[in-house]
Structure 1
Amino acid sequence: MPRLDHDHTGARIAHYRKLAGLTQRELALRVSYSYSLLHQVESGHKAASLDLVSAVARVLRIDVTALTGQPYVTELQQDRPDGLIRPIREALDLYDLGADPDLTTRTTGQLVDDADDLCQLVRATRLNQAARALPQLIAEVTTAAHRTPSATLWKALASTYRTAHDITVKLGFYDLSTIALDRMDWAAHRASDPLLAAVRQYMRALVYFREGEHTIGLRLIGAGRAVLNQAEESIESLAVGGQLHLGATIIAARAHDEDAVEAHLSEARGFAERTGEAGQIHWLSFGPTNVSAHEVSAKMELGHFGAAMAKAKEVSIPKSWALSRRAHFYIDRARSEMETGHTDAALGSLIEARRLAPQQTRYHSGARETIRGLVHLQRRSPDTLTHMAAWIGQ
């Protein structure tokens, strides 16, 4: 079997709990989870749910990444994406410096096309390639927008900032992802685009969802819907509006508010009936399939793993979906399968997620916790599971 060291989420929870001077029973009471469950998680005999992790982080007043261990230092040193992050950080600091007098820029059309191409690279989880090209493009679009301001260039700059957010989130650099979202807001205002501003609020809400701050997350969703009211109705505005409801669905599920989950899912379905399958709208793939995928995630967050697994079997993910989104679905599906004792199916779902988006799957905290859970559930690990555990460093 793979080695089961002490470098896992449960061990980190125990470490920070002790630093806070709390016993297991005291922490369990504060996070509203059973002492038995917390004990199993800390000892490494049960996977830590994202809900539990965010609740512990909130109570202990630490960042979620302190518990999940992202970005996983050993793996990052092997893949060397850390060397790609510093140039992105520096490029994000150029926003208010005006045009670079030493930089020659290409045409607006070329810059817009490059911004779209980078977005597609990230959706295809070709993160290293996108990260290498991103800093120079940010610098070039920033200079072009300052020299000849136009809504088109400001939108292109907002797109590059969105790409910076996606890359840094997927690699676990959450502090930098927050800066990228602030820059996206700065560019969206100059583009006078309410849809961009609404999408940015949606993305901010997901940051707070990760941190377990449900109330703030839902307020941000509300703010995004208010901004959206400034836009004329179109397929694009309907898709963004529906996505805002899907974001609220997952946040409400994490807060265990089943009535709110059903209300937001119902609203999202209504939007999806009007849009159909609407892909590539401000980096979103909204439609009936996405509503179903979010229903799977919501049921899982609520702890209804059997219902989540049953719903997942009904969902047919189109090949036109971004690889990153398809992989995320299979990671969710694997968790529901593991929790219901379908360990072979769970391993199969993880293998599919790895095939679709290897780098994302390797660093995804949900995938890592599910693999660890499978190792504990199976007294003798099949070779495939052993290889998967070794692949993520367990």
Structure 2
Amino acid sequence: MANHLPFGKRVRFYRERRGLHQWQLGELLNRSEDWVYRVESGRVPVNNVKMLADLAEALRVHVEDLQGVPALLDDRDSHKGSIPAIRASLMQSRRLAGPLYDTREPLRLERLDVEVDGAWSLFQNSEYARLSERLPALLADARLATHEHSAGPDRVRALTSFALTCHVTAAFLRKLGETNLAWTAADQGDMAASETADPAIMLALRRCVAHVQLGAGMAAEAVNATHNATADLPFGWWKTSPVALSLYGTLFLNGAVAAARLRDRSTADDMLGRAHEAAERLGTDANEMWTSFGPTNVEIHRLALALEFEDVQNAVDIAPGVRPGRNLPVERRARARLDVARAYGEAGRTDDAAKHLKRAFTTAPEQMRAHEFARDLARRLSQRSQRRDVRELALSLGALK
């Protein structure tokens, strides 16, 4: 019922459903009654994920309830019906072949590798409709490969393909706010990765687990998962190759954001420092094992941390230096532009915020329509500005009805 309301009205809807006055909700959050009023009236944004999680807990709802249904799932995008098929693929027993496998011919492992690469390419190019169409069959094919190959190098290769398929599935579902289903994918991928005994695959899926935990509001668990992931690595392994550096660095970028959401600046700075060291050793922006890792991604996360800590001036100072080049995947470029727009929006620089939000939307429209921060920023900008293009942008993002 509340899904298509603006954020503030959703807060009011769930507050009233729980029978709370504004002052009572404020007390639960250690905030004033006036702050709650301004949130509900749309005058104060809640861009901090920790506060979003605290609001959800106080109102006894899920974070996804406060965020509303992502506009990505509107009828204009064609993959709304793919989520049940993805769920069915993930729920297939490892031992009993279900209807997805009854008439399937096993793919050659070489072909399966190509299909996995293709899925990651679609994800990083923010082509979510095409990706959602492919994932159910790819999950079935990858799982079938683990049935077909029971030992030796081919077994490891099949498990690797299944783990990486689960990884991209989890990343995609997290984008949609389907955190429970994303957890199922991450958990299955993590188990397959463990069986490969390959440090790179295991670290990739450990990072996937932490990423889903972070998306589910489980920041403390994500920090712990980050620390535990590196504890199992061979000594010095992370320095041995571009892949190792990229996986290690990306793990700690996610961990830094998780620590920031716990208001643990020391841990956040330490983890960002580890990622920075890995990026310095790597020396360039790369995309090893679909990590988009390098110096630019570290700067993107430095900006994200400033926003998490509500350090607006620092965010504005960092923003001009965040220049994602075309060598970065579309997904990273769009997210960088969104965070730059958020920084300028928080500083009251409406025109600058609108310019960068428009660039983010042009870069990856499906991704931005799925993002609550993008929709919320567009809604606020449309309230501040009389410009026609700003209102049209908000309409395109699904921020206005």
Same-fold call, TM cutoff 0.5: yes
The one-character-per-residue Cα deviations of 1:121-172 (angstroms, maximum 9, x if unpaired) are: 1100111111112211221222122111411111111121122112222233
Aligned to 1:357: 364
Other structure's SS at 1:45 match: coil
Aligned partner letter, 1:322: P
- In the other structure, the counterpart of 1:296 is 303
- Stretch moving more, 151-160 or 259-268: 259-268
| 1:285 CA displacement | 1.8
Q: Specify the alignment match of 2:68 in structure 1.
A: 69
**Partner of 1:390 in structure 2?**
395
- Describe the superposition over 1:95-116 as per-residue Cα deviations: whole angstroms up to 9, x where unpaired: 5135646321232111101111
Equivalences for residues 88-167 of structure 1 within 5 A? 88-97=86-95, 100=101, 102-149=103-150, 150-167=155-172
Q: Which amino acid aligns with 2:42?
A: G
CA distance in 1 between partners of 2:96 and 2:191 (Å): 14
Q: For the structure 1 residues 230 and 218, does the alpha-carbon distance in structure 2 shift closer, same or farther, using more than 3 Å as the test?
A: same
In structure 2, relative to structure 1, the CA distance for the partners of 1:217 and 1:391 (3 Å cut) is same
1:285 corresponds in structure 2 to 292
Superposition map of 1:236-385 within 5 A:
236-277=243-284, 279-378=286-385, 381-385=386-390
Q: Tell me the CA shift for residue 306 of structure 1.
A: 2.0
Q: Which shows bigger deviation, 116-125 or 221-230?
A: 221-230
For the 8 Å contact 1:195–1:228, the answer to whether it is kept is: no
Runs of 4+ in 1 over 6 A off after TM superposition: none
Aligned mates of 2:214, 2:138 — CA distance in 1: 30
Q: Does 1:189 align with 2:187?
A: no
Q: Give the conservation status (yes or no) of the 8 Å contact 1:71–1:172.
A: yes
* Separation of aligned partners in 1, 2:324 and 2:58: 37
1:327 deviation in Å? 0.7
Aligned counterparts of 1:210 and 1:170: Cα–Cα separation in 2: 9
SS at 1:66 equivalent: helix
- State whether structure 2 residue 225 is matched by structure 1 residue 220: yes
- Any idea what SS the aligned residue of 1:282 has? helix
How many angstroms does 1:230 deviate by? Answer: 7.3
Letter in 1 for 2:149: T
1:206/1:18 CA distance change after superposition, 3 Å: farther
Identity %: 27
- CA distances 1:169-197 after superposition (whole Å, capped 9, x unpaired): 22332222111111211221232233333
Q: Distance in 2 between matches of 1:66 and 1:230?
A: 43
The answer to whether the Cα contact below 8 Å between 1:161 and 1:180 also exists between their aligned partners in 2 is yes
Query: Aligned equivalents of 1:255 and 1:33: distance in 2?
Result: 17
Comparing 316-325 and 183-192, the one that deviates more: 183-192
SS of the equivalent of 2:323 reads: coil
Please state how far the C-alpha of 1:352 moved relative to its aligned partner: 0.7
Equivalent residue of 1:62, what SS? coil
Does the residue aligned with 2:81 lie in a helix, a strand or coil? helix
Q: Where does residue 202 of structure 1 map in the other structure?
A: 207
**1:176 lines up with 2:175 in the alignment:** no
Distance of 1:307 and 1:154 partners within structure 2 = 44
Q: Superposition RMSD on alpha carbons, in Å?
A: 2.2
Q: List alignment gaps of at least 5 residues for structure 1.
A: none
- 1:72 Cα deviation after fit: 4.1
Q: How does 1:32-71 map to 2 (within 5 A)?
A: 32-51=30-49, 52-71=51-70
* TM-superposed deviation, 1:214: 2.8
* Structure 2 Cα separation of the partners of residues 278 and 193 of structure 1: 24
8 Å contact kept, 1:228–1:237: no
Aligned with 2:92: secondary structure? Answer: coil
Question: Is contact 1:71-1:173 (8 Å) kept?
Answer: no
**How far has the Cα of 1:252 moved from its partner?**
2.0
Q: Residue 229 of structure 1: CA displacement?
A: 4.1
User: Secondary structure at 1:77's aligned position in 2?
Assistant: coil
Structure 1 residues 90 and 305, CA gap change in structure 2 (3 angstroms): same
Q: 1:228 to 1:19 in 2, by over 3 A?
A: farther
**Which moved further from structure 2: 107-116 or 162-171?**
162-171
SS in 1 for 2:237: coil
Task: Find the counterpart in structure 1 of residue 27 from structure 2.
Answer: 29
Q: Distance in 2 between matches of 1:97 and 1:103?
A: 16
Residues 301-325 of structure 1 deviation map (CA, whole Å, 9 limit, x = unaligned): 1111221122120122121111111
Q: Which amino acid aligns with 1:29?
A: E
C-alpha distance in 2 between matches for 1:299 and 1:346: 16
CA distance in structure 1 between the aligned counterparts of 2:180 and 2:75, rounded to whole angstroms:
19
Q: Distance in 2 between matches of 1:199 and 1:37?
A: 41
Q: TM-score, normalised by structure 1?
A: 0.91
Letter in 2 for 1:372: R
Mapped contact 1:95–1:142 kept (Cα < 8 A) = no
Amino acid at match of 2:160: K
> Across the two proteins, how many residue pairs are aligned to each other?
387
